[in-house]
Chain A
Amino acid sequence: MQKELWKGNEAIAEAAVRAGCDAYFGYPITPQNEIPEYMSRRMQEENRVFVQAESELAAINMVYGAAAAGMRAMTSSSSPGISLKQEGISYLIGAELPAVIVNMMRGGPGLGTIQPSQSDYFQATRSPGHGDGHMIVLAPSGIQEAVDLMQDSFDLADRWRTPVMMLADGMIGQMMEPIAWKQRPAAPAVDKPWATTGQGERGHTNFVTSLRLDSVDNEAFNEALQQKYADIGRQKTRYEEVDCEDAELILVAFGTTARIALSAARKLRQEGIRAGLFRPITLWPFPTLALQQVAGRPNVRAVLTVEMSAGQMVEDVRLALCGAKPVHFFGRTGGMIPEPAQVAQEIRRILKEEQA
């Protein structure tokens, strides 16, 4: 298969088309503008739906409508725009609708900057919008992986009737990388007997809503939702582990930051310092058990979490390790990117400190 050089945003859009996305709704914001731009052309070619909505709020509610009608629907935005979509995401969760949301993160808070960031980790993984909800959150570290995860995103959304977020920093959207388009077998078609596709011979009207006025009903729904989350957590965590077997320090990082961390680890190997990388690919559910096993090995003296934030994923790392190993943090904020040399220096400092 001949590789091609693709820009991240365009590759993600094309991957969505190939994954059978029926309808795209969006609104422009840097650094993800190439997604709606690409979709505006490609979806028309495929005779599918593209709408540039009047706002992010409108776009996410159009996703709700299309998903309720059984379509594979998606939207994309960047941090401030994703904030606007929070209400709609909560409604998608409350109505158990499958949908795919891409967040090409930029530095906040507020309008912030158009430069890359990972500071929407809390927003994505805790409880998007209001209520006791979750969505599956996938974090690619390169464009090939982003392309591969788009297919999975739609499949997981349908399989679990849940929104799925691809959480990437702006660099993934803006950079170019060689990719190979893989011929993948289509996922088994998911039956959607709940979809509002017309009564037909069903004998009753389907009604998709997140409104459950009776608290007894609503608690039963919440309990079922939590059961679903427990099932997803048991089956769906993904991570990558590099050079951890003999590591005295484990770096934990996701997305492009993981590549920066790995670059630092490789550099330190030449100095005889053994650092390994643990990279969560599912941020929710977080790969807690796997991290416990990797960091629990007797050779591991310390853990360092690296993020483009003031320290968000590091909370999940601390929760996973429950004090079993010292957990340190290094981050850059506001659109600044950590440099491999800075990470390496931090590792040297920590190992010296742990020795003392």
Chain B
Amino acid sequence: MSAHLFPPAGHRLYVIVGPYGSGKTEVAINLALRLAAQGRHPALADLDIVNPYFRSREKADLLEAAGVRVIAPSPATAAADLPALPAAVWQAIMGEDLTGVLDVGGDRNGARVLAGFAQQIEAQRPAVWYVLNRARPDNRSPQQALRSLREVEAYANLRVNGILSNSHLLHETTADLVRDGAAFAQEVAHLANLPIVCHAFPQALADELHDLQPQLPLTLYMNRPWETS
């Protein structure tokens, strides 16, 4: 499958959930940028109320310039760790002339924020994708990973309908790790009776991993201060 076909047409709302460190924010940013390139007018809503740092709202300028509307807490509360969401989140969920991407906070506590919107989200027949990173300590076995997935579903009051394999160790990610992660994701997907919707990995590994399909090669945006020039 060539790059421009992912994500396939059909959904107007993407909900990205998963544990801390699974890579939800990088996935959500890359997905939104692809939707923009496809002319699908994405609106990325940063629903992360659990992390005080490293949130997609920090990349608002870059995203807006690329045609992604960013919905984030108002400047008055953007630097706080308050569980306050802007009313514009409704537009990402229900707006008819755009494609919504919800970047949700980690684990069950991050997912809890979705429960209040669950009915309206469900009505959109959304893609609810669970981002899975095998290198996280809460994914030491497929059974343990499945428990985390079910917990996120319970707190979000939403059913996950696809697994997005994204095994990584940040800048130490290797092709072998991505392949191990893909096999692990396959086991979890089998247990959960869910499809694997795509394989995400750093852009630099795209040549080595051309056979993993469908794929979402990632440009990493959430760099730490010493990784910028």
Cα separation A341 to B170 with both chains bound (whole Å): 23
Q: Are A267's CB and B229's CB within 8 A?
A: yes
Q: Are A3's CB and B169's CB within 8 A?
A: yes
Q: Are B225's CB and A114's CB within 8 A?
A: no
**Chain A interface size range:** 20 to 34
The interface stretch among A148-156, A158-166, A173-181, A182-190 is: A173-181
Q: Are B133's CB and A5's CB within 8 A?
A: yes
Q: Which of A3, A7, A170 contacts B21 (CB 8 A)?
A: A7
Within 8 A of B (CB), among A66-121: 113-116
List of B residues within 8 angstroms of A31 by Cβ: 52-53
Mask for A107-144, Cβ within 8 A of B = 1, else 0?
Answer: 00000011110000000000000000000000000000
When C-beta atoms are compared, the residue in chain B nearest to A266 turns out to be B226
Contacts A3-B135, A177-B170 hold; do A115 and B229 have CB atoms under 8 A apart? no
List of B residues within 8 angstroms of A267 by Cβ: 229
- Write the nearest CB–CB distance from A334 to chain B, whole angstroms: 11
Q: Are B21's CB and A338's CB within 8 A?
A: no
Q: Is B179 an interface residue (CB 8 A)?
A: no
When C-beta atoms are compared, the residue in chain A nearest to B227 turns out to be A263
Contacts A176-B21, A263-B227 hold; do A114 and B81 have CB atoms under 8 A apart? yes
Q: Are A5's CB and B169's CB within 8 A?
A: yes
Q: Is A246 an interface residue (CB 8 A)?
A: no
Q: Is A283 an interface residue (CB 8 A)?
A: no
Cα separation A337 to B227 with both chains bound (whole Å): 13
Contacts A114-B81, A176-B21 hold; do A262 and B52 have CB atoms under 8 A apart? no
Q: Which of A5, A176, A260 contacts B226 (CB 8 A)?
A: A260
Q: Is A340 an interface residue (CB 8 A)?
A: yes
List of A residues within 8 angstroms of B52 by Cβ: 30-31, 114-115, 170, 174
Q: Are A263's CB and B226's CB within 8 A?
A: yes
When C-beta atoms are compared, the residue in chain A nearest to B167 turns out to be A5
Q: Are B226's CB and A178's CB within 8 A?
A: no
- Write the nearest CB–CB distance from B227 to chain A, whole angstroms: 7
Contacts A30-B52, A114-B81, A171-B53 hold; do A256 and B225 have CB atoms under 8 A apart? yes
List of B residues within 8 angstroms of A114 by Cβ: 52, 79-81
Q: Is B136 an interface residue (CB 8 A)?
A: yes
B interface residue numbers (CB < 8 A to A): 20-21, 51-54, 79-81, 133, 135-137, 168-170, 172, 224-229
A interface residue numbers (CB < 8 A to B): 3-7, 10, 14, 30-31, 113-116, 170-171, 174-178, 256, 259-260, 262-263, 267, 335, 337-341
Given A174-B51, A256-B226, 20 additional A-B pairs, CB 8 A: A3-B169, A4-B135, A30-B81, A31-B53, A114-B81, A115-B52, A115-B53, A116-B53, A171-B53, A174-B53, A174-B54, A176-B21, A177-B170, A178-B169, A178-B172, A256-B225, A259-B224, A262-B226, A337-B225, A340-B225
